[in-house]
Amino acid sequence: MAGSSFGDAFTITTFGESHGDAVGVIVDGVTPGVDIDEAYIQIQMDRRKPGQSSVTSPRKEYDIVHILSGVYEGKTTGTPLFMMMHNHDMRSEAYTDIQHSFRPGHADYTYLKKYGIRDHRGSGRASGRETAGRVAAGAVARKLLERRGVSIAAYTLEIGGIRCDTFDEQEIERNAVRACDPLAAVAMVQRIEALAAAGNSCGGIVECRIRGVAAGIGEPVFDKIDAELAKAMLSIGAIKGIEFGAGFDAARMLGSEHNDQMDAAGFLTNHSGGIIGGISTGEEIIFRVAVKPTSSISLPQQTVRVDGEAQSISTVGRHDPCICPRIVPVVEAMACLVLEDQFKRQAALHDQ
């Protein structure tokens, strides 16, 4: 396949460019008879959309989700669920000046090399806007996971070198950066605003916790839960790394330190991050992703034109100085898609 579909038993296929008419997704394999409405999906769409706060892009996209098939009288029918969000605030003219240049950090150069043609307006298909369809589909998966007693929560752990010292899940949606530590959140916002004022951007680390997954879920070998989660996360443009449980710290631990020992009450530790051999241990599944600083900055940078001529460029437009706050719901959505898919595959394996 050409890469716009994800999932095996629970599958999504997305379409749409940043400055096209719309973006959307077809979700196939949805359990029939489940209550789903646009309001439920919209909750997640609103968490991803721009213009939420002082630290996100001021671009005005309402991201109103429309369900055009697969739901009848408020219930899923088991047939493909199609959702679409129209694009509104497209100022393509703002991109005409970079039509013939490659913006540093953007996929302008690689897309042109791959396709020999590109829709330069707002990054086209490479735009973060493509993730709107993922979030809508993820909300459907989230609904199914709720029925299984599974909950998924991502949050900002670190931004611009400022790391959370405490973990309070209640605080996450209460601050603009979706951090789990309210004090760190204040410092993060100040850091982002200062960088934005300076025409710069910063990155961070997002952590995700998945609870309620009983032991025994996950395909072995190539489609391990951690393997699928890793693919899902690295398929998000700004993410450059992922680690599970102790992650890279495990490289400096001894076997006697890293092994999660057990007693009659269960595991004594969770260095594995809730996954061993690609299968859930029943402990909390926990992973962290590295988010690169936003590529679009207004500071002058060296680049070349499509014709090869060197030039200096300053990316104008309305961008996020740090994408962590808005990537949180995307991380959750992709995690929901992976988990629901794994549950359904488990059901297929054991069915008879």
Q: Which of residues 131-170 bind a copy of itself (CB under 8 A)?
A: 144, 147-148, 158, 160-161
- When the beta carbons of 93 and 255 are compared against a copy of itself, the nearer one is 255
Q: Is 11 in the site for a copy of itself (CB under 8 A)?
A: yes
Strand, coil or helix: what is 306? coil
CB of 56 to a copy of itself, least distance (A): 15
Q: Is 3 in the site for a copy of itself (CB under 8 A)?
A: yes
Contact 137, 333 (CB under 8 A): yes
Q: Is 352 in the site for a copy of itself (CB under 8 A)?
A: yes
Task: Indicate if the alpha-carbon torsion angle 333, 335, 339, 342 is positive or negative.
Answer: positive
Burial 31-56 (b: 16+ CB within 10 A, else e): eeebebeeeebbebbebbbbeeeebb
Half-sphere exposure of 333 (CA within 13 A, CB side): 28
CB of 57 to a copy of itself, least distance (A): 14
CA-wise closest residue to 224 among 272, 274, 276: 276
Range in contact with a copy of itself (rule: CB under 8 A) among 50-58, 91-99, 168-176, 274-282: 274-282
Q: Is 100 in the site for a copy of itself (CB under 8 A)?
A: no
Q: Which of residues 282-321 bind a copy of itself (CB under 8 A)?
A: 282, 290-297, 299, 301-304, 308-310
Binding-residue pattern over the window 212 to 231 for a copy of itself, x denoting contact by CB under 8 A: --xxxxxxxxxxx-xxxxxx
CA-wise closest residue to 343 among 235, 244, 210, 234: 210
Q: Is 172 in the site for a copy of itself (CB under 8 A)?
A: no
Contact 340, 225 (CB under 8 A): no
Strand 75-76 versus strand 71-72 pairing type: antiparallel
Tell me the C-alpha distance between 202 and 82, whole Å: 35
Range in contact with a copy of itself (rule: CB under 8 A) among 90-98, 169-177, 178-186, 264-272: 264-272
Range in contact with a copy of itself (rule: CB under 8 A) among 44-52, 165-173, 180-188, 344-352: 344-352
Q: Is 330 in the site for a copy of itself (CB under 8 A)?
A: no
Q: Determine whether the annotation assigns residue 295 to a binding site.
A: yes
Contact 151, 340 (CB under 8 A): no
Of residues 41, 82, 188, 210, which one binds a copy of itself by CB under 8 A? 82
Task: Provide the annotated binding site for FMN.
Answer: 125-127, 277, 292-296, 318
